[in-house]
Amino acid sequence: MRLYSLRMTHEDFMRRAIDLAYLGQGLVSPNPMVGAVLVHQGSILGEGFHAGYGQVHAEVAALQTVSDAQRGLIPESTLYVSLEPCAHQGKQPPCANRIVAERIKKVVIATLDPYKEVQGRGLEILQQAGVAVEVGCMEQEARWLARRFFTVQERSRPYIILKWAQSAEGYFAPLSNARKQLSNAFSMELLHQWRRQEAAIMVGYKTALIDNPKLTNRSGSGLQPLRIVLDRTLALATTHHLMQDDAATWIINAKKEQPGLKYFKQADFGDKLLPNLLQDLKHHGHNSLIVEGGAQLLQAFIDGGLWDEARVIHTPVTLGKGLAAPLLKDAELMAQEHLDTDLLHVYQPSDRLISFVPGMRL
């Protein structure tokens, strides 16, 4: 049993649940990250998080950590959970039913689940069984935590992150098309952490041709994102890194379809290309996408209103002349962070801001 002051608040225990949830980052897609904490008279009996897709949910994980000697305290305890307990049979049985079976007296839920198989049904199961329920504790932090999942449910497409670095003059790259590293080592290390967190990563043809990127997560932990490259005429050489089997790859083109989906044919390379691609990603269970370039592709996402977060790294590097960086429209700066000599700005669209509380994680 972990002892805490009796003056600990709902928010303190919910914050612990949210912190635990982040331990599943990059491992649970297309499920949301969820954390849970079971508390008896100011002391934590058990805590857990959803650690991987198909594995037990956070509520069950928390119950499994309760010692045999303390299981008798469960009915007199309060469960804090960052997302409404599920009410349907999926890869795991309904958590709401398990909570009722354990006779837990109270459940504090940060935010309700928008998934069509839940949408208040978990709450209803608990209330009908006589469980006291409180909803809304640290709701904004919980929605931010599960923003990828919420976007798929509410906007019917993956959560889209745009990322680029730009020079001190606002240039994206040299005019010569030569490969030029703008961001520093701290920013590059952070980039690999971001790749670990997302389900898919995308670049355009010119970026793949000039930079020859691997687009892999080299942070040392986590899964590899699905790599996506636009190559309409299949012009990239087979020696390019993206053609190797370091990670699953979609080559979006107008010529060829292949079982296993390495070559993914799109008939329309016009205005419907990106919306169609996003629907394909959703259909295959990829709930987030980070777009790393080039400037034209990034601008296409911006112009189409197809973005939820933009991470722009401002560097002190000067190019003299260069290709202009993408131009955000109707964007609000929500956070900034110094990365040694670089400065990270994080933006959201003005029309759908998620309240960002200082200390919240990307």
Q: How many CB atoms lie within 10 A of CB 192?
A: 14
Under the banding of pLDDT at 50, 70 and 90, the label for residue 360 is low
* Domains (range + CATH), the chain: 2-150 (3.40.140.10), 156-352 (3.40.430.10)
In this structure, what are the phi and psi dihedrals at residue 93, rounded to the nearest 5 degrees? -70, 165
d(CA 14, CA 255): 51
pTM for this one?
A: 0.93
Q: How many Cα atoms within 13 Å fall on the side-chain side of residue 243?
A: 12
Q: Are strands 171-173 and 323-324 parallel, antiparallel or unpaired?
A: antiparallel
CA angle 81, 87, 92 (to 5 degrees): 85
How far is 141 from 349, CA to CA, in rounded Å? 18
- Give the catalytic positions in this structure: 59
pLDDT band of 218, cuts 50, 70, 90: confident
As to burial, measured by CB atoms within 10 angstroms (0-12 exposed, 13-18 middle, 19+ buried), residue 344 is buried
Residue 227 identity: R
Side chain identity at residue 241, one-letter code? H
| pLDDT given for residue 269 in this prediction | 87
Q: What is the pLDDT of residues 3-16, one digit of tens each?
A: 554 567 889 999 99
Q: Are strands 342-349 and 309-314 parallel, antiparallel or unpaired?
A: antiparallel
Q: What is the mean pLDDT of residues 236-252?
A: 89
